């Protein structure tokens, strides 16, 4: 390839926002020569690789901005450890139709059963599919909204929780809220209603939410919007965190006996 054409392609690719193409023209043309590619196949190769590179960049950028505590996937979740949990019900939520339908999911159960793991995995899947995601604990969200309200920046901060296609609200019910705090939660839930998905985790049953939100009427109003389009997944098996610890303790006891 003449140096002039090479330089021009590189410049044009840069202007078109295709930095990967600009860096890999030689690689592409080598593969075209080796594969004796026709024009269409060559164009197909270049365009599909550029799209893959761009999707991957967007995915990694989305994960960086999401505040997820980790990036575990459903493949890393051992469903055999929770035999009462239907893997199909969970895996159905990792499809684009969940996000497109602005549906919600609630993961309920005691500590250590993998509620956060599954919520994160569903968010990672949505991010992979091109949707924006954001992770927060309920307490952090309430604290941030209160601070924003006091500083007169409420609208701006609400946007953090309203903009993403999928909002993960972790640990609902660990701390009881005051009425004004519960009201902030209601604002987020009602403004997202039928506009964007919420995935939440809680160690409390819905009947206990009156205590969590300090007000039965407010809790009912929140549940009303949340549950209208919601998959409820209850995980009531043993704690995975304790699994290895208990096995180790039993081993110690056996060897001591």
Query: Where in 142-171 is the site for Mg ion (CB under 5 A)?
Result: none
Contact of residue 164 among Mg ion, ligand ADP, none (CB under 5-8 Å per partner type): none
CB of 206 vs ligand ADP, minimal distance in Å: 17
Give whichever of 24 and 82 is closer to ligand ADP, judged by the CB atom. Answer: 82
199's enclosing H/E stretch is strand 197-202
Give whichever of 74 and 184 is closer to ligand ADP, judged by the CB atom. Answer: 74
CB of 197 vs ligand ADP, minimal distance in Å: 19
Cα separation, 101 vs 177, whole angstroms? 30
Give the residue closest to Mg ion by C-beta: 116
Instruction: By CB under 6 A, tell whether 112 contacts ligand ADP.
Output: yes
Instruction: By CB under 6 A, tell whether 113 contacts ligand ADP.
Output: yes
Token pair 């023209």 in the structure block, residue: 25
Alpha helices in the chain (DSSP H): 3-15, 19-34, 39-66, 87-92, 96-100, 115-128, 138-150, 154-162, 179-192, 209-212, 216-227, 240-256
Distances, alpha carbon 85 to alpha carbons 118, 130, 150, in Å: 12, 27, 43
Give whichever of 57 and 70 is closer to ligand ADP, judged by the CB atom. Answer: 70
Contact of residue 117 among Mg ion, ligand ADP, none (CB under 5-8 Å per partner type): ligand ADP
Instruction: By CB under 6 A, tell whether 111 contacts ligand ADP.
Output: yes
| 213, 87 contact by CB (below 8 A) | no
Cα separation, 129 vs 141, whole angstroms? 25
Give whichever of 118 and 177 is closer to ligand ADP, judged by the CB atom. Answer: 118
Q: Which of 82, 116, 165, 197 binds Mg ion (CB under 5 A)?
A: 116
Q: Which of 116, 136, 137, 202 binds ligand ADP (CB under 6 A)?
A: 116
DSSP-derived 3-state class of residue 86: coil
DSSP-derived 3-state class of residue 193: coil
CB of 114 vs ligand ADP, minimal distance in Å: 3
Q: Give the Cα-Cα-Cα angle 37, 39, 45 (nearest 5 degrees).
A: 70
Interface ranges with ligand ADP (CB under 6 A):
72, 77-78, 81-82, 111-117, 201, 240-241
Interface ranges with Mg ion (CB under 5 A):
116
């Amino acid at each position: 390839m003449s140096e002039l054409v090479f330089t021009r392609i590189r410049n044009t690719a840069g202007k078109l926002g295709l930095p990967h193409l600009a860096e890999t023209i030689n690689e592409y043309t080598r593969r075209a020569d080796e594969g004796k590619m026709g024009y269409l196949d060559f164009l197909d190769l270049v365009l599909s690789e550029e799209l893959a590179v761009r999707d991957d960049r967007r995915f990694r950028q989305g994960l960086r901005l999401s505040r997820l505590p980790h990036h575990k996937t459903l493949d890393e979740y051992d469903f055999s450890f929770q035999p009462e949990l239907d893997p199909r019900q969970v895996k159905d939520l990792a499809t684009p139709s969940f996000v497109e339908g602005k549906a919600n999911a609630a993961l309920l159960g005691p500590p250590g059963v993998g509620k956060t793991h599954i919520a994160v995995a569903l968010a990672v899947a949505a991010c992979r599919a091109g949707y924006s995601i954001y992770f927060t604990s309920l307490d952090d969200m309430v604290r941030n909204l209160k601070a924003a309200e006091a500083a007169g920046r409420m609208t701006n901060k609400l946007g953090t929780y309203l903009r993403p296609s999928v909002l993960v609200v972790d640990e609902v019910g660990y701390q009881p809220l005051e009425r004004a705090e519960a009201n902030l939660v209601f604002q987020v839930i009602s403004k997202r209603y039928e506009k964007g998905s919420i995935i939440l985790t809680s160690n409390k049953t819905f009947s206990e939410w009156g205590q969590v939100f300090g007000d039965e009427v407010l809790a009912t109003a929140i549940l009303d919007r949340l549950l209208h389009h919601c998959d409820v997944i209850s995980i009531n098996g043993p704690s995975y965190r304790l699994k290895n610890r208990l096995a180790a303790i039993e081993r110690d006891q056996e060897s001591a006996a």
